[in-house]
């Protein structure tokens, strides 16, 4: 098992009280599976993905990644986990505006300490796999929405993470670009054996996944 999230609770302060977003959410992900997390807007999908990625901490509950408890990671190990073991794609691509597409993709590898040449080479391979090699010297604002998201996927994959987490990656794309992004992600799952969890409120997208989870009232149920 790649990732095991067990009984996750998370509440946020809201005015005088609290909003309990996650109330015992659990899910297991296997290596090389494409899984979908569906749920209405506001159901807590982003919160859950951020917790899985070690970006925010749960109030209680444990995440085990390859058998190791993420809660116990020391800061240095947690940084490595976020940068190299997990790839994250946000709804809004979060590309750095002053860097070209290929430089954006290289960044996590450079942070990891990979040489410039090697980072560039790997970034170019990924941009080819995602059919945007010809856009490598473009800046984010010179890319279409679909191209920006594909660049963000390439960046999330450069350190060969075992798990790719994508938070509504097609949320700002038209139908055609959404379908093509999901096809590309599906291909990457098959060729690289990376596990993928995509959060979406779009019921159509749910069909793409091998495993379908649903987040509702703070808990996760499995649909198939």
100 touches Mg ion (CB under 5 A): no
- The H-or-E segment that residue 10 falls in is strand 3-14
Q: How far is the CB of 106 from ligand ADP (least distance, A)?
A: 29
43 touches ligand ADP (CB under 6 A): yes
Q: How far is CA 3 from CA 46, 67, 68, 108, 165, in A?
A: 17, 8, 9, 22, 12
Residue closer to ligand ADP (CB basis): 12 or 137? 12
In the sheet with 211-216, reading across from the earlier edge strand, the strands are 86-89, 163-167, 195-200, 34-38, 211-216, 219-222
41 touches ligand ADP (CB under 6 A): yes
The window from 23-31, 45-53, 156-164, 181-189 that contacts ligand ADP (CB under 6 A) reads 45-53
- Total binding residues toward Mg ion, as defined by CB under 5 A: 2
44 contact choice in Mg ion, ligand ADP, none (CB below 5 to 8 Å, kind-dependent): ligand ADP
193 contact choice in ligand ADP, Mg ion, none (CB below 5 to 8 Å, kind-dependent): none
Angle between helices 101-112 and 145-157 (to 10 degrees): 20
Residue closer to ligand ADP (CB basis): 35 or 47? 47
151 touches ligand ADP (CB under 6 A): no
16 touches ligand ADP (CB under 6 A): no
Q: Cα separation of 133 and 116, whole Å?
A: 18
Structure tokens at 101: 């597409």
42 contact choice in ligand ADP, Mg ion, none (CB below 5 to 8 Å, kind-dependent): ligand ADP
Residue closer to Mg ion (CB basis): 120 or 213? 213
Q: How far is the CB of 171 from Mg ion (least distance, A)?
A: 8
46 touches Mg ion (CB under 5 A): yes
Torsion angle, alpha carbons of 182, 185, 186, 192, to 10: 180
3 state SS of 137: coil
Q: Closest by alpha carbon to 87, among 157, 177, 149?
A: 157
Angle at 16 between CA 10 and CA 17, to 5 degrees: 30
45 touches ligand ADP (CB under 6 A): yes
Applying CB under 6 A, the residues found at the interface with ligand ADP are 12, 14, 19, 21, 39, 41-47
Applying CB under 5 A, the residues found at the interface with Mg ion are 45-46
């Amino acid at each position: 098992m790649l990732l095991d999230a067990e009984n996750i609770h998370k509440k946020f302060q809201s005015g005088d009280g609290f909003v309990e977003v996650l109330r015992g959410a659990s899910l297991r992900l296997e290596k090389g599976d494409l899984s979908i997390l569906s749920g209405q807007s506001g159901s807590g999908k982003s919160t859950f993905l951020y917790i899985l990625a070690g970006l925010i901490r749960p109030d209680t509950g444990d995440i085990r990644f390859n058998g190791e408890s993420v809660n116990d990671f020391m800061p240095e190990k947690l940084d490595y986990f976020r940068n190299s073991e997990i790839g994250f794609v946000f709804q809004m691509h979060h590309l750095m505006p002053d860097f070209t597409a290929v430089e954006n993709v290289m960044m996590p590898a450079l942070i990891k300490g990979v040489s410039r040449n090697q980072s560039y080479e790997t970034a170019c391979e990924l941009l080819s796999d995602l059919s945007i090699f010809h856009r490598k010297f473009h800046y984010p604002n010179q890319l279409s929405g679909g191209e920006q998201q594909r660049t963000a996927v390439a960046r999330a994959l450069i350190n060969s993470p075992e798990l790719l987490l994508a938070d509504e990656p097609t949320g700002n794309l038209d139908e055609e670009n959404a379908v093509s992004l999901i096809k590309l992600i599906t291909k990457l799952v098959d060729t690289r054996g990376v596990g993928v969890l995509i959060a979406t409120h779009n019921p159509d997208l749910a069909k793409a996944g091998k495993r379908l989870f649903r987040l509702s009232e703070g808990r996760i149920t499995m649909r198939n």
